[in-house]
Every structure is written in C-alpha cells, then in structure tokens.
C-alpha cells in the first residue's frame, strides 16, 4: 500500500521539483541581468532625476535638460560596466515610454491630422531616400552607406540604421559606417530638437502643422517627443503619432534594401531581422484601447506620468551615448550627405505645410 502511495505521489513530486528548478533558473537569469545592467541604468536614472528637478525649479523642458546632462557625462560611457545598462536604457526604456504614449492618443487625434499631411510626410521620405542614393553616387560613397544614412534620416534614426545594417553583409566596413551614421544622425537630431521648435514657433504654424513638421522631420523618436513637448503636450502627442507613422514604413524599406543589397546576408547563419518594432505595435494597441474608451482616466494619468519619466531617463541615456568628437574623424563627405538628406526632408515637409496654408 505504501509503495502504491509513493507511486501516486511521484509524478506530483517531480512536477514540483521541475517547477522549483525553473524558478531557480529564472531567478539566476534575472540576477545576472540586473548585475550586468544596473550600473548604467543607475547613472541614467540619476541624470534623469536631476533633469526633472532642474526642469521643475527653472521651468525648462525636462527632456532638453536630460539631453544636455547626458552629453556632459558622456565620459561615463567609456566604462565597460556602464555600457550595457546605458544601451538597454536608451533602447528598451525608450520603447516602454513611447508605447505608453499610446494611451494618450485617441482616434480623434489621428483624424485631426488629416490624410494630406500624412501623404506629404510619406512623399518627403521617398524624396529623402532618392537624395541619399543620388548623393552617395555623386560623392563617391557606397550604396550601403546610402541605404544606412537614407533610412536613418527618413525613418527613425539609429533604430532604422540598425535594422538596415542587419540585412547588409556583416563586415567591418558596415560596422564602421553604422557607427558613423548613428553618431552623426543622433547629433543632428539633438540639434533639430533644440532649433526646430523655435523655427515652427517663429513661423506661427498651427498646432497640427507643428506636429506634422516636428514628427515628419526629426530623426529619432526621443527627440521628436522632446521637441513636441517643449511646445505643448498636445503638439508632442501629434508629433509622436506622425513620427510613429514614419516608423511603420520601416518594414517595406528594410525589405527593399534586402532585395537591393543584402541578399548575401540571408546566407549567414543566425541572421535575424525585426522589421516591425514591438513598441510600435504596443503603441497602436494602446491607442486603439484608448480610442474605444476602454482605459479608465486613473490608468491614463498613471501611464502618462510613467511614460514621462521613462522618456526623460531614456533621453539622458541617448545623450550619454552621443560622442561629439567622433563626428570629427569621419571626413566631410558622409557628414555632408547626411546633412543634405536632413535639409531635404525638412524642406519638403515644411514647404508642403506652408504651401497647404
């Protein structure tokens, strides 16, 4: 009888042991993750807290202060212990913050932008990509660099450059071009974040037009959010939606680059490409829920607060990663092409907005 009881208990006991072993593995993985990331995360969090404190005391935009603090402490990024956490913060925390912004977007905001401005932004992206291809040929640069820089400027900065690089042949030249594009585009996006709000304010554009210009021309999502919120929360929301509309075009562009240049990368073992970022999907799901009145006002308020702090910390991390000196060692041709693409993108969007007035 006793042996029969043990036989009955044995499967249940084995199941408990397996569950405990699984919990132990997860705990060990979480501990390793925290040990690897916490130095850089703490640096960015402290920088973000300082930015928020300065913003509340002096009334300056918190995200602008966060970028400046990050640039001032860039030397910390040279420490190997800090790099994983800073990288994770600038990527994952940023995406969490942007995804939560979806709870502040309703269908009425989308309809308020209108079809014509969105078509204008898509046309500007196409012109920018064409400028990259023709400009690279005229300046003696490679087609790979044209794809990296054009997509980075037209779509979403460093994230787009990383997506394109993943379908190009993996070699040292691609890695060098990727690093240079990220450095220059991040610098230009930071400059645009400071001066574009002043430009659209000086032109006395409507809030909708300001959102279209900022979201349709600034390279990185973080800088779009910062630039829009520097004027008002509503302009920040509209600019973010326009920007994420640009990000959604990343899929066909990356696929086009793959068939144009990167087929050889598909033969490499383990090559993986994420065409549609998960945070973009989350943003639209949250926006759909909010548009359907499924989100209580209290949850909306909490999400807005959490999103703000996530973005401040993430933008601090982006500043920490930005090396201004690296721009001085790449020669003038690549920088000139990226600047040309940036100017063309601004000219088409801003010119179209002014023409529609």
Rounded Cα gap, residues 136 and 334, in angstroms? 8
CB atoms within 10 A of CB 5: 9
CA atoms within 13 Å, Cβ hemisphere of 197: 20
CB atoms within 10 A of CB 161: 27
In a domain, 10, yes or no: no
In a domain, 33, yes or no: no
Which of 119, 122, 90, 108 has its CA nearest to residue 237? Answer: 108
**In terms of residue numbers, what domain contains 296?**
39-356
In a domain, 106, yes or no: yes
In a domain, 130, yes or no: yes
> Going by C-beta distance under 8 Å and a sequence separation of 6 or more, which residues neighbour residue 177?
142, 144, 145, 148, 334
What's the structural domain count of the chain? 1
In a domain, 20, yes or no: no
Per-residue pLDDT of the chain (357 residues; tens, 9 = 90+): 545 555 555 566 556 656 555 655 666 555 665 667 888 899 999 999 999 999 888 876 677 788 788 888 888 988 888 888 988 888 788 878 877 877 776 666 666 677 888 889 889 999 999 999 999 999 988 888 888 899 889 987 777 776 777 677 766 566 667 767 877 887 888 889 889 999 998 998 888 899 999 999 998 877 888 888 888 888 888 888 888 778 777 767 877 777 777 555 445 445 454 555 566 678 778 878 887 878 888 888 888 788 888 888 988 887 788 776 665 666 788 889 999 999 999 999 999 999 887
102: DSSP letter = G
The pTM assigned to this predicted structure is 0.66
In a domain, 2, yes or no: no
Rounded Cα gap, residues 254 and 237, in angstroms? 26
In a domain, 212, yes or no: yes
| CA-based end-to-end distance of the chain | 90
Rounded Cα gap, residues 152 and 291, in angstroms? 31
């Amino acid at each position: 009888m006793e042996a029969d009881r043990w036989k009955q208990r044995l499967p249940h006991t084995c199941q408990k042991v397996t569950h405990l072993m699984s919990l132990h593995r997860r705990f060990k993985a979480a501990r390793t993750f925290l040990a690897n990331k916490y130095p850089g995360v703490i640096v960015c969090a402290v920088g973000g807290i300082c930015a928020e404190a300065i913003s509340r005391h002096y009334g300056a935009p918190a995200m602008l202060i966060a970028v400046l603090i990050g640039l001032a402490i860039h030397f910390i990024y040279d420490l190997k212990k800090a790099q994983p956490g800073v990288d994770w913060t600038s990527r994952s925390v940023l995406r969490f913050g942007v995804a939560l912004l979806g709870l502040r977007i309703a269908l009425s905001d989308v309809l308020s932008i209108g079809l014509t401005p969105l078509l204008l932004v898509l046309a500007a992206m196409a012109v920018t990509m064409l400028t990259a291809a023709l400009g690279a040929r005229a300046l003696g640069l490679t087609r790979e660099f044209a794809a990296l820089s054009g997509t980075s400027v037209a779509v979403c900065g460093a994230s787009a450059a990383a997506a394109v690089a993943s379908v190009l042949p993996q070699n040292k030249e691609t890695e060098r071009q990727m690093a240079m594009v990220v450095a220059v585009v991040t610098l230009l996006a930071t400059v645009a974040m400071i001066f574009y709000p002043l430009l659209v304010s000086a032109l006395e554009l409507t809030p909708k037009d300001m959102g279209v210009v900022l979201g349709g021309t600034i390279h990185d999502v973080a800088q779009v959010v910062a630039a829009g919120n520097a004027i008002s929360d509503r302009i920040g929301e509209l600019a973010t939606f326009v920007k994420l509309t640009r990000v959604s075009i990343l899929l066909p562009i990356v696929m086009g680059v793959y068939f144009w240049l990167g087929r050889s990368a598909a033969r490499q073992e383990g090559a993986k490409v994420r065409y549609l970022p998960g945070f973009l999907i989350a943003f639209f799901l949250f926006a759909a829920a909010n548009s359907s009145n499924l989100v209580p006002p209290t949850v909306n308020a909490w999400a807005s607060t959490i999103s703000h702090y996530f973005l401040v910390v993430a933008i601090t991390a982006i500043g920490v990663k930005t090396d201004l000196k690296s721009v001085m060692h790449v020669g003038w041709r690549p920088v000139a092409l990226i600047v040309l693409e940036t100017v063309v993108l601004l000219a088409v969007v801003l010119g179209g907005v002014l023409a529609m007035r």
